[in-house]
Amino acid sequence: MRHTLPIAPQFYVTAPQSCPYLPNRRERKLFTALQGDHASELNDSLSKQGFRRSQNVLYRPACADCTACLSARIRVADFVPQKSQKRTNKRNKHLTRTARAPWATEEQYALFRSYLDARHADGGMADMDVFEFAAMIEETPVRSRVVEYRETDQNRTLAAVCLTDILDDGLSLVYSFFDTDLDQRSLGTYVILDHIDLAREAGLPYVYLGYWVPGSDKMAYKARFSALEIYVNGAWQDIGNPSEYSNQTHPLSVDPIAQQVAQISLPDLMAAQGKRPSHETQ
C-alpha cells in the first residue's frame, strides 16, 4: 500500500545563545523549514502565529524562561500617524519607491554594509559577506519583493531598502536598512509608513513588523505606531500601554517545546492543493 499524503513540517529548537536584545539573557528559537509547493500557505499561517521568515526557515522565540519577544503588526485601517510621523513623511516625500524581484545588487550590499557598521557592528549579522547577503535577499520560496527608495538627485542615490514578503493578509517587513548619514530624516520610520500605504493600496489589513521587545532600546520605535497589535498567549491583541509590559524571566513562563508545537495550527495543505489524498495498491 502506497499513500501519497502531505508531509507535516518538522519543528526543531536551536541551541541557546546570547540574546541580541536584552543583556544577560540566552535566546532559543523554535524553527521549521520553508520549502515545497505549499511554502506560501505555511508562511501565511505561521506568520499569523508569531513566526518570522529568514530565507527558507520560519522561526519563533522559544526561550527557556523568557517571553519578552512579542510579534507585532499594525492594523492598516486604524492607523493614524503621529505629528512626528507626518513630518517624517514630509521630509522624505521626494523619494521614489521601486518594488523589484528579490535580486541582490552590489549597490544594495554597499548600503547594507555601511548600515551594519554604523548600527549593528557587534550584532549577529556584522560579518555577513556579499554572498551571504545575496542569499538573504534571493533565497525565498514565497512572494517577496525588494523595495528600494531612491533620491531624486542626478545619481538617483539609494537611500533605503526593505526585503518584504507578501502574505495573504498583509506585508511582512523581513529586513530593512538605510543610509545612516541621513538620521535626521528617520528613514527606518519612513519605510514602515510607506509600507502602511502600500498595504492600504493593495487592500491588505496588516503590516507585520517582526518582534517588539519591552525594555530593548533597539525595538522601542515599534511601540510608537498607532493601531499596533501584539501576539500574546496564542492571540493578537491591542498593545495598550507599552510601559505595562514586563521583560522579567520566570522558569514557569514558557510552555514545554512539545506543548508549543502541539498548539501550532497548520494550514490544510490538501485543501490548498485542491485535491484529496490518493491511495494506490500495488
* Model pLDDT, residue 273: 55
Number of H helices, E strands in the chain: 7, 16
DSSP states along 159-173: EEEEEEEE-SSEEEE
The H or E element containing residue 59 is: strand 57-61
Average pLDDT of span 67-96 = 97
Supply the DSSP symbol for 88: H
Q: Is 4 left (phi over 0), alpha (psi -120 to 50) or beta?
A: beta
Q: Over 60: is that where the pLDDT of 3 sits?
A: no
pLDDT value for 7: 59
- Asked if 49 and 265 count as a contact pair (C-beta separation under 8 A), the reply is yes
pLDDT at 272: 52
| Of residues 75, 22, 81, the one with CA closest to residue 204 | 75
Buried b (16+ CB within 10 A) or exposed e, 63-86: beebbbbbbbbbbbeebeeeeebe
**9-68 pLDDT per residue, tens:** 899 999 999 998 899 999 999 999 999 889 999 999 999 999 999 999 999 999 989 999
Nearest C-alpha neighbor of 193 from the set 96, 92, 48: 92
- With the C-alpha atoms ordered 191, 194, 196, 199, is the resulting torsion angle positive or negative? negative
Residue 8 — very low, low, confident or very high, per pLDDT cuts 50/70/90? confident
Residue whose entry in the numeric block shows the C-alpha cell 494550514:
267
Q: In whole angstroms, what is the distance from residue 72 CA to residue 70 CA?
A: 6
Q: Give the CA angle between residues 58, 261, 41 to the nearest 5°.
A: 45
pLDDT value for 249: 82
**CA-to-CA distance for 169 and 55, rounded, in angstroms?**
20
Q: Does residue 237 register a pLDDT over 70?
A: yes
User: What DSSP string runs through 190-234?
Assistant: HHHHHHHHHHHHHT--EEEEEEE-TT-GGGGGGGGSSSEEEEETT
Percent of the chain with pLDDT over 90: 75
Of all residues in the chain, what percent are helix, strand and coil, respectively (each to 5)? 30, 30, 40
Residue 218 above 80 pLDDT? yes
Superfamily of domain 2-280: Gcn5-related N-acetyltransferase (GNAT) (3.40.630.30)
Determine the average pLDDT of the residues in 94-101: 96
